[in-house]
Structure 1
């Protein structure tokens, strides 16, 4: 005899919400049907197995739960009266097979979760990628069974040759499609049978990107540059400080507060992966920071670029940071042109420059610490762009005869 029950899943799907699922148990084995809806534990009535009336959408959510229960119960009853035995996995397939889930509906749920988690940068990027995929397929509805290897190959070709996207960018488009597909499978809204990713199908492989940093002489040109306008000098100061602190990312740089500097060291947490670390304050950095100590702002930030931005408003903070980054990069390129630096100069190049100059000089484990990478593999892959000494020596051994 099978049993059915609505539960609030223990594992969180977002920062504060848990998925509402239907648990089916037969022969002491359980399987779960995801409703696609999420609520915070404070809104869940554990006794009644329903959403509390204090939730703004309680009526609609409870109606949905009743509908899902009715569908599951109906299939269970059919299974019980049949003479042939049906396993719990077969019952689940029949229940989930009754509905045709649309890719773009699941994609909207995925984007909504990013918004709820205040991941605004990721939300904006992924929203645009999904929108382009929808434009490419040319229709509003797309069943998961329609997302074939052939369709994804055509999309890949379109991005590369018609939309002129870089290979690394194309991989990002395929990744978001895979993410939404995996979410649908996890929530029992799509089957693994026609999954278009994996060996022999669409494989996600990151092409090695070209990373070129400045040389020591080019950094010295920036350090010794004079007759710069105030905006140009400020842009160069930010670039140099990023370089001096082992390529600290621009968003983290702008958020540095005077309180982060203690006992001749910088203490900060990197926003990208939340890794916490500290670095000594190089003498070159002290000279630049001394200039900014004369200014003040309500947030006690070292640099004035975020101005009166509300740091607790992540959406506004992201928008302002991106705007400042664009302006600083444009200014840096003008400086590079004036100094005859024949390379693209941007804030991110400060990180590449640190890698280029460190080259083969620093043990990979120490570079991992300086870069604040979570995995040493990431550091090895990153630094491979700049470790040329052994390859150059090997080349000389062959051709210098």
Structure 2
């Protein structure tokens, strides 16, 4: 029979300096600890009673919580034994989780998700969950909420609040999708009830998530390309990054940052897009080859093509921080270049991608070809999705850029 014991887990110290209060489950010499989502300092814990001491300011509340979890655990064990079921400590923990639906609030569970993804260096996903918590916290004036409270009315009012704050519908849709993801994970892990799932009635499709067109004409791109700049200056480097993207099917800044010379083979660019996993095989146009010639002569030993990342950017967090910083600088310099050639437009690295697609469209290249060239795979983005086009067809289409 399994044993259940409450203890203060002193091997771990939380950010508040306290130790987590745990249930220790033992069965067949296997041990599992289950958190009670409460903590206590060692000086306020009674080791003999395995309960908060009389001095603890929240003694009564903690004892009630501990007693409930302790009794629930013993009841689970007794149920397994009475039904003559084979079970493990993991089975006990799982059954306890189901009994504790609603024990984790929206903020606490989101914090858990953030930490889990940071632990495996999925920083982008962790940041998305953190951003979702931030907008909800601002809406509730930092008051935590249960998953039951995150209902249709709550989401509708949150949406209205974001609109009043001039947040774009596209951004609102991103926040809502992340909140939906948190809710789905909470249901799967027993912290929320499927019967209370608000996204059955609250639909994200009503949000207009179409991105406004942000494209330069072929003539405007040529003005930027032809403008005289000091070779190697910050403005020249920013322009070279913009033009390389434009001439290489709108390659994203993050993918360009991570390009290495091994991605350049026989006059072609081979790379896998970080966001989608789509593989590209692109014939490099003469202007793109000229840009590469400049950087090839100035290699720093890191293996990277562009002066964005270095060998010391060896974690996902370091890469994201560096890319964000340099992209901001590049975009600022691109705006300066645009002003110099009298283009009244907020030119950024991402404008190169839109410009690439728009210029080809104006040359009567089919939407399906452009879709393939950009690596789109969703009908919501391009309306047309094809499995593959021959590289030679796309290479010929690219020549319209010149």
The one of 170, 175, 178 aligned to 1:176: 178
Answer yes or no: is the 8 Å Cα contact 2:217–2:355 preserved in 1. yes
Aligned partners of 1:376, 1:151: CA distance in 2, in Å?
30
Query: What whole-Å deviation, never above 9, does each CA across 1:274-298 have from its counterpart, x for those lacking one?
Result: 2222111111211221122210112
What's the CA shift for 1:203? 3.3
Match of 2:320 in 1: 318
Matched position secondary structure for 2:194: coil
Aligned partners of 2:331, 2:384: CA distance in 1, in Å?
26
- Give the gaps of 5 or more residues in structure 1: 5-44, 52-57, 82-91, 383-401
Aligned partners of 2:126, 2:112: CA distance in 1, in Å?
11
What's the CA shift for 1:93? 11
Q: TM-score, normalised by structure 1?
A: 0.70
Aligned partners of 2:97, 2:331: CA distance in 1, in Å?
56
The one of 223, 244, 254 aligned to 1:251: 254
Aligned partners of 1:249, 1:371: CA distance in 2, in Å?
10
- Give the gaps of 5 or more residues in structure 2: 3-25, 37-49, 51-67, 83-94, 386-402
Match of 1:275 in 2: 278
What's the CA shift for 1:311? 3.6
5 Å-filtered alignment, 1:116-195, equals 116-161=119-164, 163-195=165-197
Answer yes or no: is the 8 Å Cα contact 2:214–2:354 preserved in 1. yes
Answer yes or no: is the 8 Å Cα contact 1:215–1:357 preserved in 2. yes
Q: What is the aligned length?
A: 320
Match of 1:242 in 2: 245
Answer yes or no: is the 8 Å Cα contact 1:130–1:176 preserved in 2. no
What's the CA shift for 1:221? 0.3
Match of 2:204 in 1: 203
1:96 aligns with 2:81: no
Query: What whole-Å deviation, never above 9, does each CA across 1:54-81 have from its counterpart, x for those lacking one?
Result: xxxx6979x9xxx979636626867999
The one of 209, 212, 215 aligned to 1:213: 215
What's the CA shift for 1:337? 1.2
1:74 aligns with 2:84: no
The one of 344, 350, 353 aligned to 1:342: 344
What's the CA shift for 1:257? 1.4
Aligned partners of 1:371, 1:95: CA distance in 2, in Å?
45
Matched position secondary structure for 2:199: coil
Aligned partners of 2:372, 2:101: CA distance in 1, in Å?
52
1:371 aligns with 2:374: yes
Answer yes or no: is the 8 Å Cα contact 2:97–2:189 preserved in 1. no
Answer yes or no: is the 8 Å Cα contact 1:235–1:331 preserved in 2. yes
Match of 1:390 in 2: none
Match of 2:302 in 1: 299
- When residues 243 and 206 of structure 1 are mapped into structure 2, their CA distance, relative to the original with a 3 A threshold, is farther
Answer yes or no: is the 8 Å Cα contact 1:212–1:356 preserved in 2. no
Answer yes or no: is the 8 Å Cα contact 2:114–2:130 preserved in 1. yes
What's the CA shift for 1:372? 1.9
Matched position secondary structure for 1:267: strand
What's the CA shift for 1:381? 7.7
Answer yes or no: is the 8 Å Cα contact 1:309–1:317 preserved in 2. no
Aligned partners of 1:379, 1:72: CA distance in 2, in Å?
53
- When residues 233 and 204 of structure 1 are mapped into structure 2, their CA distance, relative to the original with a 3 A threshold, is same
- When residues 249 and 68 of structure 1 are mapped into structure 2, their CA distance, relative to the original with a 3 A threshold, is farther
Worse overlay, 211-220 or 135-144: 135-144
The one of 263, 266, 280 aligned to 1:263: 266
Match of 1:37 in 2: none
Answer yes or no: is the 8 Å Cα contact 1:181–1:190 preserved in 2. yes
Aligned partners of 2:146, 2:170: CA distance in 1, in Å?
27
Matched position secondary structure for 1:218: helix
RMSD of aligned Cα (Å): 3.5
Answer yes or no: is the 8 Å Cα contact 2:113–2:126 preserved in 1. no
What's the CA shift for 1:94? 11
